[in-house]
Each structure stands twice: as structure tokens, then as C-alpha cells.
Structure 1
Amino acid sequence: MTTRSAQAVDHRGFDNPDEVRQFEHGRSEVLHMGGGTIGRHVLHPGWRWRDDVKPLAGTEWCEAPHFQYHVAGTLHVQMSDGTEFDLGPGTVSSLPAGHDAWVAGDEDVVLVDWYGASDYAKRR
């Protein structure tokens, strides 16, 4: 016997997001679906959280925890404890609150973020 879910099926792409949050050197495209929020962050060379998003967030470090898949480019991350590392295409990362990050190199960084997109780059 086959049972069916009572929930409606929803499938969309980032080509038609619910919300686009623009900031210097990039944007965050946001979809609200399935009771959650998912974002695609497109960060251009020269982007750095401290310079481009911190003025919107109003916090010393990025306080949005992220669970994200890295599609393209290299992101250099510095945690508030001084730990630093690079994240590149094909990497899945779980970043806790308390970090800065910047695009390393001259290729756009593209990330799909399942956890931190709901409030990312919203003006406080």
C-alpha cells in the first residue's frame, strides 16, 4: 500500500528567489520553502564579510552559523579564536558563529547555505 504525504510539493530554483539581499561585492538569494529558508550567496572578488556585510549586521564577527555547500571559488575563513582555513568547490562546511571570511583569488565564490541564510545580510 502506498501512502501520500499531506504536504504540498514545492520545487524552485534560485533564478526566481523570494528575496535578494544586495551588498557590496555580492548578493544573497533567498528561498522560503518547506518551512525553512535556503540561500545562495554569490560573493565577488574583493568581498570580505568585515567590509561588506558587517555594516549591515552591526556585529564584530559574523554571528550567523552556516551549514553550506561550496559550489565555486575559494573562501578563506578566520574564526574569532584565530583559526584560519580555505574552503573550496565540493566542500560542505559547518561554521559556528564568530567568524570573518573573504574571497581568495579572482573567481566568484558561490555557496548554498541551508542554515544561516534566514537573517544573513539583513540590516539591523
Structure 2
Amino acid sequence: MSSLESKSFSTPDETRSFADKGAAEMVVLDGNTVFKDRFEPGWRWSEHVRPLAGTTTCQSPHMFYVVSGRMHFLMDDGAEGDVGANEVARIEPGHDAWVVGSDPCIIVDFGATATFALPAQRTAGTKA
């Protein structure tokens, strides 16, 4: 294995659509998945990903940097908050999320599971 590996989101390994409200571009480096997500205004996990994931709330952890825009998170335990441009956040499984405002939210996520935003039938029993 090489000690240097790089990829570009200009040519991602895979792109997963959020219906008409954005997409997740994925690259894999030495088995580690990194997503660059674009969430359009009006995007909400419970509306645009839940039908794919087949879970009540998002069951993927996230560790990410917000490039632009703003996202609101509502945790299953009732905790909630916003994360915006130039901020870094860690979100545990068990949450809903949605774009705040009229600007797209762009996130680089280093902590999502590889099955994030995959249709339930493609995850072979795992949850996204």
C-alpha cells in the first residue's frame, strides 16, 4: 500500500442523490469514506433520506466541516442546534436535520458510515 493517496471530488467514486435537493459525493481512501454533501434549501433528512434509509431517524454518526450554509439538527433525545459555515461538528446517530435559510449547505463529512444515504435494500441489513 502506498503512503500517499489522494482523490478529487471532481471525479467521486460514487454520487448519491437526495431526490431534487442535493447529493452526496463519496471518495474512499484506504477503506475510509469521505463525503462532500450538498443540501439544497428545503432539504430535510426525514423527507429526502428517510425513504431511502428505512429508519425513523439518521443512524449514521457524522464528523464534519461546514463549507457554507447552515444546518439544524434535532437529536432523538430532544437536544438541538445549528451548525454553520467554518464550523466543525460531531453528531451521534439518532437525529433529523434540515437546511436553515435560502442558501445551500455544503459539508465535508469524515465520520459518516459508508452506507449513508443508500437505499435500505443496498445496505444488506445495515442502517444509514
Q: TM-score, normalised by structure 1?
A: 0.92
| Structure-1 residue corresponding to 2:5 | 10
Q: For the Cα contact (< 8 Å) 1:38–1:117, is it kept in 2?
A: no
Determine whether 1:23 maps to 2:10: no
- Residue of 81, 92, 113 corresponding to 1:96: 92
Determine whether 1:53 maps to 2:49: yes
In 1, distance between residues paired with 2:102 and 2:115?
A: 27
1:71-99 deviation line (CA, Å, top 9, x unaligned) = 11000110111111100011111100000
- Residue of 72, 75, 78 corresponding to 2:74: 78
Q: For the Cα contact (< 8 Å) 1:38–1:115, is it kept in 2?
A: yes
Residue type of the alignment partner of 1:22 = S
1:117, distance to aligned residue in structure 2 (A): 4.7
- RMSD across aligned C-alpha pairs, in angstroms? 1.1
Q: What SS class does the counterpart of residue 50 from structure 1 fall into?
A: helix
Residue type of the alignment partner of 2:111 = Y
**Structure 1: 5+ residue runs without aligned partners?**
1-5
1:13-64 deviation line (CA, Å, top 9, x unaligned) = 1110000001221100000112211001100000000000000000001000
Aligned residues: 119
Q: What SS class does the counterpart of residue 64 from structure 1 fall into?
A: coil
**Structure 2: 5+ residue runs without aligned partners?**
121-128
Q: For the Cα contact (< 8 Å) 1:39–1:117, is it kept in 2?
A: no
1:121, distance to aligned residue in structure 2 (A): 0.5
In 2, distance between residues paired with 1:80 and 1:35?
A: 30
Percent pairwise identity:
38
- Residue of 99, 108, 118 corresponding to 1:112: 108
Q: TM-score, normalised by structure 2?
A: 0.89
